[in-house]
Structure 1
Amino acid sequence: MNVHTDSALRALDATTATLSAGEQERARATLERIVATTPSTPAAQPAAPTPARGSRRRLILLPMAALTLALAWMVIPALGGDNPAYASWTATPASVTSVELSAVAAACRDKLRGSSIDLDRARLVLSERRGDHVALLYRTEDPDMSGACLARNPRGSTDVDDVDDGVGGSTGPALKAPATGYTQGAISQFDGASITDGAVGAAVTGITIHAGTLTVNASVQNGRYVAWWPGPAFPSGYVQPSGKGGPEPILTYDLTLTDGTVIHNAQPTLPS
């Protein structure tokens, strides 16, 4: 660095400048104001929003017999939308192994405990697998109560989660279906799936349920049927109140009889 460069740089340094008495007084006053000023408080950062917890709600429609026998019945609106968890669903059910059944039954009974079905008396009458999900149906005949349970249980596994349940029925004994007919039992609608059950007559070997654009082959055994599907059982956007006169299901039923006859759009047996 030469003398000319050094001189030029020193000219830019404010600390080397010679100030007059007036300039020194103004500089001192400015410094005092800066030091005396209270530092501004940083703006408070908004708290991170608390994530909303997902909810699973269900709709329960008691069987038609309950309209006569039950003290009350209830409708709870369900959440809409397709649930990708049910992507493995199949229209035709498969059997559940004893190992899978044991694991799912334990989780379902825990879920149903404290509901209106008496688990000390209820029998497990039907089970079915559709993809990664297993449905179980618990029953008491008097009173006429169904406890349906739907749980995720990958095939061959004892892992069980995403357990949903629905309970419906009446205060009186179960209505018996005629030989070539059926009764419409409880209908439960969860977030993205629905399940229903009922009774069938001795001559009925199969039930096909049409739920909107979906066709479901129900499981039929020992005079009962059960079926679930990834979709609604009731019209979307309904606003009807709970109780009699509530929303009508979008379901239709075809019955297959022992002689091969198919009864299309069969109507359920109702209390006389």
Structure 2
Amino acid sequence: MNDLEELAVLDPARHNEPTPAQWARSRNFVERTMAGRAASAPVRRRWVGAGAVTVAAGLVGAVVIPSLMPGVTGKAVASWTAVPTARTGDQVLPQAEACGANDVSGSSTKVSASDVILAEQRGDATMLIMRKTNGHIVECLGVGDDRFASMGLTDGTPLPPPPAGKLTLETRSSYGDGDDMFSNIVGLAGPGVTSVELRLNDGGTVHASVKGGWWGAWWPGPEGGEGTDEFTVIAHSASGDTTYLPTQMP
């Protein structure tokens, strides 16, 4: 015990108190672990699919298992566009029903257009963030009715919004391999954020979607992996721009 007490003094985070959102994510992971439904290593979020390894960001949180449809990922990547087309809940209701029906974070007994918080179209692929019947918020990516990835974002506990004009990062990941590899990033957007863009180190620009207090994007390539700063995130608002490195985002 004396050795542990001496080592504790060297802990640079010994005086840091987790935020309510961090406590919620931690409790959620512990509950899943006790239920035998969590992965062996705690992560904030991650995609899991057959035959591939996924890297995810930072803090403890939910681990979920998406559906992987052969050929769907390749079709989504091949038709991808840097600028998304915004979709309403009515326009993506079939995709929302498919997302709600899966058991990631619990299945929904009924899905309506109002459950969709954010939806976008990039080529053949649709990304949406929606609220399930139990209050959990999830993200789904798919082509038509075929879902190639899905992820739990919250466990029903409301997340505190960031300050006006600012962003938080809730998840980032890369998935797949070769020509089918893609990256994903999702976070919360504070009041007044009008648009978000990602500037990749190779010179490319990805325009994210922003709606309902959330922002998100996905793109072909490995840049979204944990612990890397291969792109910057820029939040635009009437009061000015805020630029982030992913590893430094709250």
Identity %: 26
Contact 1:107/1:163 (8 A) holds in 2? no
Alpha-carbon distance, 1:262 to partner: 2.5
- Choose the corresponding residue for 1:226, options 198, 216, 235: 216
Alpha-carbon distance, 1:86 to partner: 1.8
TM-aligned CA distance change 1:55 to 1:118, over 3 Å: closer
- Choose the corresponding residue for 2:151, options 161, 166, 189: 166
**1:202 equivalent in alignment to 2:202:** no
TM-aligned CA distance change 1:139 to 1:190, over 3 Å: farther
**1:193 equivalent in alignment to 2:193:** no
What corresponds to 2:142 in structure 1?
151
Alpha-carbon distance, 1:196 to partner: 1.9
TM-aligned CA distance change 1:125 to 1:188, over 3 Å: farther
TM-aligned CA distance change 1:118 to 1:174, over 3 Å: farther
Computed over aligned residues only, the root mean square deviation of the Cα atoms, in angstroms, reads 3.7
TM-score, length basis structure 2: 0.59
Counterpart mapping for 1:1-272 below 5 A: 55=50, 57=52, 59=54, 61=56, 67=59, 70=60, 83=74, 85-96=76-87, 100-111=91-102, 113=103, 115-116=104-105, 119=108, 123-139=115-131, 146-153=137-144, 160-169=145-154, 173-191=158-176, 192-213=181-202, 214-235=204-225, 247-248=227-228, 250-259=230-239, 261-265=240-244, 270=250
Matched pairs, number: 185
Letter in 1 for 2:208: A
Letter in 1 for 2:170: G
Contact 2:197/2:207 (8 A) holds in 1? yes
Alpha-carbon distance, 1:99 to partner: 6.0
1:65-111 deviation per Cα after TM superposition (whole angstroms, max 9, x unaligned) = xx3xx4x56699xxxxx946422211111033666412211222233
Letter in 2 for 1:263: T
Letter in 2 for 1:127: A
Letter in 2 for 1:131: G
TM-aligned CA distance change 1:219 to 1:105, over 3 Å: same
User: Following the alignment from structure 2 to structure 1, what is the Cα–Cα distance between the partners of residues 195 and 153?
Assistant: 23
- Secondary structure of 1:264's counterpart equals strand
Letter in 2 for 1:93: P
User: Bigger radius of gyration, 1 or 2?
Assistant: 1
User: Following the alignment from structure 1 to structure 2, what is the Cα–Cα distance between the partners of residues 121 and 174?
Assistant: 24
Contact 2:85/2:120 (8 A) holds in 1? yes
1:208-249 deviation per Cα after TM superposition (whole angstroms, max 9, x unaligned) = 1234534211111122112111222445xxxxxxxxxx6446
Alpha-carbon distance, 1:162 to partner: 4.7
Letter in 1 for 2:119: S
Gaps of 5+ in 2: 1-48, 66-72
TM-score, length basis structure 1: 0.55
Gaps of 5+ in 1: 1-53, 77-81, 154-159, 236-245
Contact 1:60/1:186 (8 A) holds in 2? no
Contact 2:116/2:128 (8 A) holds in 1? yes
Which has the larger share of strand? 2
Letter in 2 for 1:175: P
